[in-house]
Amino acid sequence: MLVSVYRYNPETDDAPYMQDIHIDIPGGKDIMVLDLLQLLKDKDPSMAYRRSCREGVCGSDGMNMNGKNGLACITPLSAVVEKDKLVLRPLPGLPVVRDLVVDMGQFYKQYEKIKPFLINDTPAPAIERLQSPEERAELDGLYECILCACCSTACPSFWWNPDKFVGPSGLLQAYRFLADSRDTATRERLAELDDPFSVFRCHGIMNCVSVCPKGLNPTKAIGKIRNMLLQQAT
Amino acid sequence: MVTSITSFGRSGLYDWMVQRVTAVVLVAYAVFMIFYLAFGDELTFEQWKGLFDGTAMRIFTLLALLSMAAHAWIGLWSVSTDYIKPTGARFLFQSVCGLLTFIYVVWGIQILWGI
């Protein structure tokens, strides 16, 4: 099959280019895109990409495969290859460090902004802060995020304003702490989000939902943040 | 918190709310107009003038006009902050939009009460 890979080495290349590579895929099983990358790397060791757990847990190998973001390690070739061709590009919208490796700085900065930790100003109990099973269930569909950046880099609002719009991933996390019964900083968290960019640059096109490799729904979480802001302010 | 001084109401929530409420007004006005024109009798000048002579219609039309101004400003402001990155060009675009909107509102009121 034909693989077209985005290549860029800032030390030697003036500009990024697409490299076409013909490769024979071993038959017998449906390999993952990450396995294919390893085959490519065996041929050309200068090829750069991130990977770690190879089972969709660490979120390192988010990339754009035939136009759709996803994790290379849990995407079988059969799911993305079209007409025996696969185009691999780095996650869109973030600066490229080299080949398929992007600089996630801007993405993490937005994550930092939403204070991704429990804030509780009441005295700590002797053992732990308890939650009822119902309260715990509120966090389902939120805590599973692995910060792979597939969603935020699929979002045009994040492309245009990565410094101002928190992005789907950051907002999913923001709601994860707003919804947590043990967190007491709800008011302060909401006050930080009530500007025309942080939350409201989301126009609900749901690219984030369609690409999330963990099947999460940031658009729904953003809607809930909006409802919380609305309830507080009307 | 991102500071912005050119947005409609400074608060994202406020802009969002205004955008939704004005949209409802515009839909109501559009539906009314479509029904009036499509299912009313043959339209004559007197009838058309009579429609806009009534205070209720003037209130409804002014409401729609102001709604359109607010709705357009919020929308175009969003477009400008998405796509126009140089501050000077963005401010110029916003100024032109603001001026045009103001002109349309004044002009609209003049037409509405000049009948």
Minimum CA–CA partner of B74 in chain A: A196
Predicted local confidence at residue B43, as pLDDT: 85
Predicted local confidence at residue B39, as pLDDT: 84
Collect all residues of chain B within an 8 Å Cβ-Cβ radius of residue A199: 12
Predicted local confidence at residue A108, as pLDDT: 97
- Residue A152 sits in the same domain as residue A172: yes
- Residue A213 sits in the same domain as residue A121: yes
- Residue A211 sits in the same domain as residue A115: yes
Digit-by-digit pLDDT tens for chain A (234 residues) are: 999 999 999 999 999 999 999 999 988 889 999 999 999 999 999 999 999 999 999 999 999 999 999 999 999 999 999 999 999 999 999 999 999 999 999 999 999 999 999 999 999 999 999 999 999 999 999 999 999 999 999 999 999 999 999 999 999 999 999 999 999 999 999 999 999 999 999 999 999 999 999 999 999 999 999 999 999 887
CATH for B12-114 (1.10.10.10, 1.20.1300.10, 3.40.50.1220, 3.40.630.10): 1.20.1300.10
Token reading at A122: 């009441």
- Residue A96 sits in the same domain as residue A133: no
Written as one letter, the residue type at A121 is D
Residue A209's domain spans which residues? 105-233
- Per the structure, the count of domains in chain A is 2
Residues in Cβ contact with B30 at an 8 Å cutoff, skipping those fewer than 6 apart: none
Written as one letter, the residue type at B49 is K
Whether B5 has a pLDDT exceeding 90, the answer reads no
A-proximal residues of B, 48-77, CB under 8 Å = 77
Collect all residues of chain B within an 8 Å Cβ-Cβ radius of residue A192: 1
Q: Are strands A96-98 and A101-102 parallel, antiparallel or unpaired?
A: antiparallel
Please state, in angstroms and rounded to a whole number, the distance separating the CA atoms of residues A179 and A137.
10
**Would you kindly state where each structural domain of chain B is located, as residue ranges?**
12-114
Last residue of some domain: A86, A102, A118?
A102
The CATH number given to whatever domain includes residue A81 is 3.10.20.30
Token reading at A9: 């080495």
Last residue of some domain: A83, A102, A121?
A102
Collect all residues of chain B within an 8 Å Cβ-Cβ radius of residue A157: 82
Predicted local confidence at residue B8, as pLDDT: 83
- Residue A39 sits in the same domain as residue A85: yes
Written as one letter, the residue type at A226 is R
Q: Average of pLDDT values for B11-30? A: 94
**Do B13 and A194 count as a contact with CB atoms less than 8 A apart?**
yes
What pTM value is reported for the model?
0.90
Eight-state DSSP code of residue A153: G
**Do A192 and B1 count as a contact with CB atoms less than 8 A apart?**
yes
Last residue of some domain: A82, A102, A122?
A102
Q: Identify whether the C-beta of residue A154 lies closer than 8 Å to the C-beta of residue A160.
A: no
- Residue A116 sits in the same domain as residue A89: no
